[in-house]
Amino acid sequence: MDHVSPYSLAFMSTATISTQRPPAAAPASNPGNGSRPTGNPGAGGQTRAPRIMIVDDVEVNILTVQGYLKKVGYRDFVTTSNPHDALKLIHEANPDVVLLDIQMPEISGLDILRVMGADPVLQHLPVLVLTADQDPVTKQRALDLGANDFLQKPIDPHDLVPRVRNALVLKAHHDQLSRQATWLEQQVKARTAALLASQQQLILSLARAAEHRDNDTANHVIRVGRYAGVIARKMGYMTKRIPMLELAAQLHDVGKIGIPDAILLKPGALEPDEYELMKNHCTFGRKIIAPISGKDLEVLRTHATLGNQILKDPCSPLLKLAAKIAQCHHERWDGKGYPLGLAGNDIPVEARIVSIADVYDALSSKRPYKEPFPREKCFDIIREGRGTQFDPQLVDAFFSCSEEIIQIQLELMDD
């Protein structure tokens, strides 16, 4: 406990103090008319008077400091003589500065500083230490724990007022920067959401262009993307990448754009040479989606300013993933697929996932060359492909979430 000085007691009746104006962040009104100085914005951005919290186990010391500050226009105070209540009051009252006694029973000012420094919400709150302790070690410990300034007891109002003012200006600047950072973060989120929406629409439009070539509906690509997301989630694929996988999967057959109508729309079985040409849609898809090479990119960038703006990032993770899926979704687990003849885990896992999703949707949908198969027949074909056409673990994942697959299928049925 810090001592109560004769100077402090004298204030209660006869003290005369400076008439210095309060800080710019909290300019004083005429103290005599009962109005409060303005200060930091509160909830909802409304301007409120600066709020000053005083923690001292000696009540008369609180009254002394409070009296000095009232003389220059400050009116909003939160005080406590019980150090046990200090941290709770700080959280509840949200003060702009704390005047904190160091030597208090059971819980010292240093203890309170230590907790505040570890709290992300409180660590930027200015703290002015009030102490009669002349020990430089105590002062250093307080500074190390985050104290902003010191006021030696007995408190001199000529020191108190400008130091409180400076602390409030510091808090006002910090709050302004925090509000600006929050606003900028909100703007970035809004712009990012808008860009993502545009990206999703462009991908769907490109996927539709490919699907309409062979009379499929746009729902096919959406269903395949949704199925792929469900299977990926079930087998433990990285959660944060699932939305990108669902988008990339929609472009799995974009290479059909390069297949002649006579082959793509043929109602019957394909001839061997037609089938060989049809298999090229995987390679066409990769070429359409894959990020542009450095040489081609430079040509486009020098061709037009618009090209420069559109192609700033030639290494889009989404396009890389989509190109990988487009090229490899017809590979087989046993190595008998196309176009590269990859086998097992050499096939990118995303392509293995989309392979199952695409085959199931193709089996269960109407195509130019067939009617939709019954659901159980589709399931039987998928089971038969376990370990030959499809990754066995992914087939198991498919059936473990088959109810969700069916629900998506019902939601996105073709007209």
Q: Is residue 53 part of a domain?
A: yes
172 shares a domain with 47: yes
For residue 31, the model assigns a pLDDT of: 38
For residue 304, the model assigns a pLDDT of: 36
Name the catalytic one among 71, 153, 234, 256: 256
Per-residue pLDDT reduced to its tens digit, 105-128: 889 999 999 999 899 888 889 999
Torsion of CA 245, 249, 255, 256, to 10 degrees: -170
Q: Is residue 83 part of a domain?
A: yes
164 shares a domain with 230: no
293 shares a domain with 166: no
- What domain range includes position 146? 6-181
For residue 230, the model assigns a pLDDT of: 97
220 shares a domain with 167: no
Q: Is residue 195 part of a domain?
A: no
Does 256 participate in catalysis according to the annotation?
Answer: yes
Tell me the torsion sign for CA atoms 108, 110, 111, 113.
positive
HSE toward the beta carbon, residue 149, CA cutoff 13 A: 18
What stretches in the chain show pLDDT beneath 70? 1-47, 204-218, 256-271, 274-315, 368-369, 415
For residue 294, give the CATH number of its domain: 1.10.3210.10
For residue 42, give the CATH number of its domain: 3.40.50.2300
Report if pTM > 0.75.
no
For residue 196, the model assigns a pLDDT of: 73
For residue 22, the model assigns a pLDDT of: 42
243 shares a domain with 160: no
What order of strands is seen across the sheet that includes strand 97-101? 76-80, 51-55, 97-101, 127-131, 149-152
257 shares a domain with 168: no
Query: How far is it, in rounded angstroms, from Cα 107 to Cα 386?
Result: 68
Strands 127-131 and 97-101 turn out to be parallel
